[in-house]
A and B are shown apart, each in its own frame.
Chain A
Amino acid sequence: MTPTGTGPLGGSMSLVAIRKLATVVEEIFHEGGPPPARPLRQGGCLAVIRNPYAGRYVPDIQPLMEDLKPLGLAMAQRLIAAIGVTPREIEGYGKGAIVGTAGELEHGALWHAPGGYAMRDVLGGAKAIVPSTKKVGGPGARLDVPVTHINASYVRSHFSAMELGLPDAPQTDEMVLILVMTTGARIHDRAGGLKASEIKGEDGLR
């Protein structure tokens, strides 16, 4: 990605100005129980961008949604690379946004479409809705990003979450946009319910 604060991803007229990108990857070997043959990996990609609508009420905010599409794709690709797997090995996902205090919660909602479609694109057509959450917060605010199976929302073993945030963001006129992906079930999953092996994958639910 071009290292500039003004629209490297959407052309010179893009509303997206990036201050910072971050990735966090966890490799979990066990949580007190028998370590599985393959450790679970889960990761988040965070982008800190300027909120072009901060400080005032702007009726039409949808232009940013369009301009966020290239950033979403770049973040999804960066995240898979950081996790160190192929797209086929991703089994869970989620997304979220933290809006700085000069913005409104509604600005965070602009991330729904570009964030979700970017992950579906990169993962080759995942069927389930991408679970999400959002809040308004200051620097250091943390977000528990919900995670579910990419093809069937009811797969109980994959219900999870990843807490993410950055000490210096969001500033008042910024937003932190987040994507999360995981490589499988919770580390010692044994709470029953629909299994990944049982899904039909038709309606995105079961």
Chain B
Amino acid sequence: MKAKIRKLIVSVEETQSEIGKAVTPPTRKAAAIAIIENPFAGQYVQDLKPLMDIGEELGGLLTERAVKALGIPGGKAESYGKAAIVGEKGELEHAAAILHPQMGKPVRAVLEKGAALIPSAKKMGGPGTPIDVPLGHKDAAFVRSHFDGMEVRVPDAPRAGEILVAIAVTDSGRPLPRVGGLQKHEIKGEDGLR
């Protein structure tokens, strides 16, 4: 284990009705979050490869946790997203090193496919800072019913020398989608867009 994890959090939301109308089947989102030590807190380090390796490790671990919490096989996941909050003694680039170069591959291995870009967000923040993890369909980014987000927040993290890393996975789109656009049954899933 390359990441020094202080804690892991898994959060699941199941929406059964919206504005009084039943949602059948309920829509479900899960976020898995790791609070890790930032190995480069308080210093400028040129080579961020160790954070890229941590990103790869967490990509697999967090996606597995999220899928397990939903109780579905990875291939049944429909949308995904990722995010990081860097504590005050780090820099935004640390989030980029975790999220972008190596995280995607293990995420896609758990979810069996994932032709689309994994939407992401990042920021600096203190304990309790919320972050909206963007969500998009995993095989076709233009599926309009699956444009969404999931807010995550951990009251005691990130501390100054920590990084919060989150991966969100769903088995559904928004609760009562009706704004048209590309539908999930219409996707080809080849180029990651449509």
- Give the Cβ gap from A166 to chain B, nearest Cβ, in Å: 7
B171: min CB distance to chain A, Å: 13
Contact at A22–B11, with CB atoms within 8 Å?
yes
Minimum distance in angstroms from B31 CB to a CB of chain A: 9
User: Could you say which of A4, A21, A167 contacts B14, with CB atoms under 8 Å apart?
Assistant: A21
How far, in angstroms, from A167 to B17 measured CA to CA in the complex?
A: 16
Query: Which of A3, A23, A82 is in CB contact (< 8 Å) with B23?
Result: A3
Contact A167 B9 (CB under 8 A): no
A55, CB-defined interface residue at 8 Å: no
Contact residues on B (Cβ < 8 Å of other chain), bracket: 20 to 34
When distances are taken between beta carbons in the complex, the residues of chain B under 8 Å from A23 are: 10-12, 69
Interface 9-mer from A26-34, A89-97, A175-183: A26-34
**CB <8 Å contact, A22 and B13:** yes
- Asked if A20 and B13 sit within 8 Å, CB to CB, the answer is yes
B16-A29 in contact (CB<8A): no
Q: Does B8 lie within 8 Å of A26, measured CB to CB?
A: yes
B119 adjacent to chain A (CB < 8 Å): no
Q: Are A19 and B17 in contact (CB under 8 A)?
A: yes
Q: Is the CB of B18 within 8 A of A19?
A: yes
Residues of A within 8 Å of B26, CB to CB, are 3
Task: Fill in one digit per residue for A104-126: 1 if any B CB lies within 8 Å of its CB, else 0.
Answer: 00000000000000000000000
From A1, A27, A32, name the one whose CB has the most chain B CB atoms within 10 angstroms.
A27
CB atoms of B14 and A22 under 8 A apart? yes
**Nearest A-chain residue to B154, judged by Cβ:** A26
Residues of B near A1 (CB, < 8 A) are 16
**B6 contacts the other chain (CB 8 A):** yes
The 5 closest A-B pairs by CB, nearest first: A5-B17, A163-B155, A167-B151, A3-B26, A28-B7
- Can you list 9 A-B pairs, Cβ within 8 angstroms, ordered by A? A3-B23, A3-B26, A17-B20, A19-B17, A24-B11, A25-B10, A31-B6, A163-B155, A167-B151
Given pairs A5-B16, A26-B7, A82-B69, 15 additional interface contacts (CB within 8 A) = A4-B16, A4-B22, A4-B24, A20-B13, A20-B15, A21-B13, A21-B14, A22-B13, A23-B10, A24-B11, A25-B9, A26-B9, A28-B6, A28-B7, A142-B155
